[in-house]
Amino acid sequence: MSQRSDRSDQSDVLSLDSGLEALRQSSEFRGPVESLEGHGHSNDHFALVYESEAEQFAAAIPFLRQGLERGEKCMYVVEEEDRDEVLAAMRERGIDVDARLESGALALESVENTYLKGGSFSIDEMTDRYADIIEEATAEYEAFRLVAETGWIVEDDVTIEEFMEYESKVNDVFDGEDAIALCLYDRRHFPAEGICDVVRVHPHLIHDNTVCHNFYYTPPEEFCGPAKPDHEVDRMLGTLQERTEAKTELSDQKRFLQRLNEVTSDPDKSFEAKLQALFELGCEQFDLDLGALNRVDPDADHLEVEHVSGDHDYFQPGVELELSETYCQAAADIEEAASVSDPTEEEFDEITVYEDYGVEAYLGTYVPVEGEADRTLAFVTSRPRTEPFSEQERTSLELMGQWVKYELEHQQYQRELEQTVAKLKQSNDRLKQFAYAASHDLQEPLRMVSSYLQLLENRYADDLDEQAQEYIDFAVDGANRMRAMVGDLLSFSRVERADNEFGPVDCDAVLERVLADHQMQIEERNAEISVGSLPTVSADGEQLEQLFANLVSNAVKYNENAPPRVEIDAEERPDCWEFTVADNGIGIDPDRADQIFEVFKRLHHDEQYPGTGIGLSLCQEIVENHDGDIWVDSEPGNGSTFHVTLAKRAAD
């Protein structure tokens, strides 16, 4: 059937892979950890070549800790003089050494008691010993994990050849068992030729915080056998070729990514145009002839061609097919990239697109789209293909699919946003209409209440006792407050966005009028008002006057200082003008600073500071009409600074 990448999770099988996983996840161990995927020499035994203690522990301890966490028996073979240091390093890196030693899960064995037991090193004895240790450990624990120092080899006159022979034998012992080993080679102690051999006999090496596939690996039977030089030449040539291929593949991939980026990030192109460019890039990259984006519904066995590159007899936008009659079924089955390079072999020879349309090869990926029909992005050809598609080609296609997914979801989101904005605007308009109608219609009965109260007071004042008089005063007061609120609500509902009313407004002149209108309030409080140099902006002049009137009047009203001071200023920003109205008044609790812009929201009682709670809502409405923003910086007791931005228009 169709090909797909092998992504099976091997983390539960104890092997070199899981050892590598420990290093990958460890924060101490930095650097690339090459995956072993596709590497032929499976071996549960690897070497760390290091030049400092830090390097040694950065690899060895996480490796061991992972074993302990997985319930394995862990053994560290240590030179006697290093024991304390190793223990300290384990503790430092979070291993509960004492508990682990006591339970037996962790063992620190000396070199004397292992490799040199009986006084000297014997290959066979040691191999047998490890076989026993593994058997005993795996009877009780999940697996056996070994970290072993090797410095004793140099000190105890064991030849490297001898040790390498042992290494290849011990490989056999570990092979097929639930056991892995990490040998530690301190480069500072070994002669260079020795390290050279170490490198040759270990398929995987850790050096300088990097886990590497070992190009120089020589299987033990070759290492010790007579044809060593021949094999070495084979390997060298093979490595050269492999490296060159890897380099070419990398630079191909890099070029592809650059082009993909160019195609998808062009701000001047529409989605359709980008898609066509993407089809072109895919056809070239995969050596195929046609690209298509299809809407698919696997449950309904349905596919509809949505976009295609170029003209084609069969594949045209709008063409509908059963999904199972297309190769896209393969991509839909696995919900990722799938390929077909030999339809007969892969049992696709009875589907419509093969039999009737003559499609010979296919590379396609499934594109799940949130909130919309899923898609497949596919490339096909009617030329028979000799080579299967590579993992790299599938990855490239998946990248393209991800971009398509992102674009489609973004478009969908954009559409939803536009609908929401339209709905909001509608309901906002309706609310405003309601507020207008209500406040307008309330005026008349309110006027009646006020005037009859007035009449009552004037005509019957002498007949009323003190309490009745007091009641009438309350009623008059209430009616007056209500009139103020209804009046303010009416002005609020009248703030319209009328772009045609926008024209050059001289803000200096606006402020002059505002100050003149508030002359009485200002003189009563002896307020000092300073106005900086203000610009001429494109705006609705009447609305700006309302805006500044509210801000200036609040700045004087919510102020217990003598004299109240108010500073009005403006600064030019790239896209807008920013005005500030700063006072030395009572200030606002920052936690409630957002509330004050809500309709009827007041932070004070009427007796303390009279008002209706609409002024700042009106300001916000006006500012929004001018594509601007309003906010306040304040601290209770330390005055408030209101900021207002007004977007610049072409005329500014």
**Least Å distance between CB 566 and ligand ADP?**
9
Output the smallest distance, CB 587 to ligand ADP, in A. Answer: 6
User: Residue 430 or residue 604: which is nearer to ligand ADP going by CB?
Assistant: 604
Nearer to ligand ADP, 95 or 596 (CB): 596
Exposed / middle / buried, residue 64 (Cβ in 10 Å: 0-12, 13-18, 19+): buried
Residues 6+ apart with CB under 8 A from 373: 295, 296, 297
CB nearer to ligand ADP: pick between 101 and 486: 486
Q: How far is the CB of 630 from ligand ADP (least distance, A)?
A: 11
The CB-of-505 to ligand ADP minimum distance in angstroms stands at 22
Residues of this chain that interact with ligand ADP (CB under 6 A) are 550, 554-555, 558, 583, 585-588, 596, 602-604, 611-617, 640
CA 287/CA 282 separation, integer angstroms = 8
How far apart are CB 514 and ligand ADP at their closest, in Å?
Answer: 14
Residue 28: CB partners within 8 Å, gap ≥ 6?
A: 57, 58, 61, 62, 93
Nearest approach in angstroms of CB 610 to ligand ADP is 8
By beta-carbon proximity to ligand ADP, the closer residue of 381 and 554 is 554
Sign of CA dihedral 81, 82, 88, 91: negative
Nearer to ligand ADP among residue 214 and residue 550 (C-beta): 550
User: Taking Cα atoms as reference points, which of 644, 405, 452, 436 lies closest to residue 544?
Assistant: 644
Task: Please identify, using beta-carbon distances, which residue of 217 and 558 lies nearer to ligand ADP.
Answer: 558
Quote the least distance from Cβ 481 to ligand ADP, whole Å.
11
Q: Which is nearer to ligand ADP, 276 or 550 (CB)?
A: 550
Q: Which is nearer to ligand ADP, 382 or 641 (CB)?
A: 641
Other CB atoms closer than 10 Å to residue 301's CB: what's the count? 14
CA 276 – CA 284 distance, rounded (Å): 13
- Among the residues of 8-143, which ranges form H helices? 16-25, 53-69, 83-92, 97-103, 123-140
Cα 636 to Cα 525, 582, 589, 596, 609, distances in angstroms: 21, 14, 5, 14, 16
What is the nearest approach in angstroms of ligand ADP to the Cβ of residue 495?
Answer: 14
Provide the minimum distance between the beta carbon of 544 and ligand ADP in the complex, in angstroms, as a whole number.
Answer: 16
DSSP state of 141: S
Residue 99 vs residues 96, 106, 562: alpha-carbon distances, Å: 6, 9, 74
Residues whose CB is less than 8 angstroms from the CB of residue 54 and which lie 6 or more positions away in sequence, other chains included: none
C-beta separation of 341 from 354 below 8 A: no
Q: What's the CA dihedral at 370, 371, 372, 373 to 10 degrees? A: 70
Q: What letters, b where the CB count within 10 A reaches 16 and e where it falls short, cover 476-486? A: beebeeebebb
For the chain, the C-alpha Rg in angstroms (whole number) is 41
Distance CA 620, CA 636 (A): 22
Nearer CB in complex with ligand ADP: 456/484 = 484
Residues facing 348 on adjacent strands: none
Q: Which residue from 357, 354, 400 is spatially nearest to 378, judged by alpha carbons?
A: 400
Pick from 58, 4, 60: nearest CA to 28: 58
Nearer to ligand ADP, 288 or 632 (CB): 632
Dihedral sign for Cα 617, 619, 624, 629, please.
Answer: negative
Nearer to ligand ADP among residue 123 and residue 603 (C-beta): 603
Q: Tell me the closest approach of the beta carbon of residue 563 to ligand ADP, in angstroms.
A: 15
Rounded least distance, CB 593 to ligand ADP, Å: 9
